[in-house]
A and B are shown apart, each in its own frame.
Chain A
Amino acid sequence: EAQVTQNPRYLITVTGKKLTVTCSQNMNHEYMSWYRQDPGLGLRQIYYSMNVEVTDKGDVPEGYKVSRKEKRNFPLILESPSPNQTSLYFCASSFAGAVQPQHFGDGTRLSIL
């Protein structure tokens, strides 16, 4: 089954404790992206990647890191999480090309205490 898989689905942690949210897709997509969803703000893009070793900042990259060492994986790293990063996070992927719709994972709900 074609899918985007995020792990973990839920995480409660404390300020300053490094964490990684993994994202993997099995559709051979070139483009991958991370979003955060907050009430009243919709989805905001954190980082995106157009292919292996090619990443760029989205609208809200501060406090986050990403890497794209393999085509299928695009982990989101919070080196020193803070409470304002408490949010619902989505990973998405698509084939390259502006007309391609994105496929989303089911989300990761992070709570930073």
Chain B
Amino acid sequence: AQSVAQPEDQVNVAEGNPLTVKCTYSVSGNPYLFWYVQYPNRGLQFLLKYITGDNLVKGSYGFEAEFNKSQTSFHLKKPSALVSDSALYFCAVRSWDRGSTLGRLYFGRGTQLTVWP
């Protein structure tokens, strides 16, 4: 079965410190991995994606994520957190099933990031 796990419901970090939001996945075949961010009363916004190639991908707002195939992980990182980074973060993986040429997108449960001033 395809699945995505975000082991931490909440992450708290002080402004200026590095942050990590964890994600692990389980899919058959090669995964396409995404991170989205959700601010209050808004829809999800795309941050970054891993398709192939360099294991470190860079995205919007200074975020980056590291793909680790052996650990089946795709952790989101930022070297220096801002208060404005406080939001709900979702990891997602696209998987193939039933002969679909597009596949379905599976989301983790989300991690609430709070950055303290």
Q: Which of A's residues lie within 8 Å of B, judged by CB? A: 4, 31, 33, 35, 40-45, 48, 50, 56, 58, 90, 92, 96-99, 101-107
Q: List chain B residues, Cβ under 8 A from A90.
A: 43-44
Given contact pairs A98-B96, A101-B34, A106-B42, a sample of 6 additional A-B residue pairs in the complex whose CB atoms are under 8 Å apart: A41-B109, A42-B110, A45-B106, A92-B43, A99-B51, A104-B44
Contact of B46 among A35, A45, A56, A101 (CB under 8 A): A101
Q: Does B32 contact A (CB under 8 A)?
A: yes
CB distance from A67 to the nearest CB of B (A): 19
CB distance from B42 to the nearest CB of A (A): 6
CB distance from A7 to the nearest CB of B (A): 14
Interface size on B, residues (CB 8 A): 26
Report the separation of the CA atoms of residues A97 and B94 in the bound assembly, to the nearest whole angstrom.
11
Q: Does B103 contact A (CB under 8 A)?
A: yes
- Answer whether A99 and B108 are a contact pair too, CB < 8 Å, given A31-B102, A107-B41: no
What are 5 of the A-B contact pairs (CB < 8 Å)? A42-B107, A56-B100, A103-B46, A104-B36, A104-B45
- Answer whether A48 and B103 are a contact pair too, CB < 8 Å, given A98-B32, A99-B49: no
CB distance from A51 to the nearest CB of B (A): 10
CB distance from B47 to the nearest CB of A (A): 9
Q: Are A105 and B43 closer than 8 Å at their CB atoms?
A: yes
Q: Are B102 and A99 closer than 8 Å at their CB atoms?
A: no
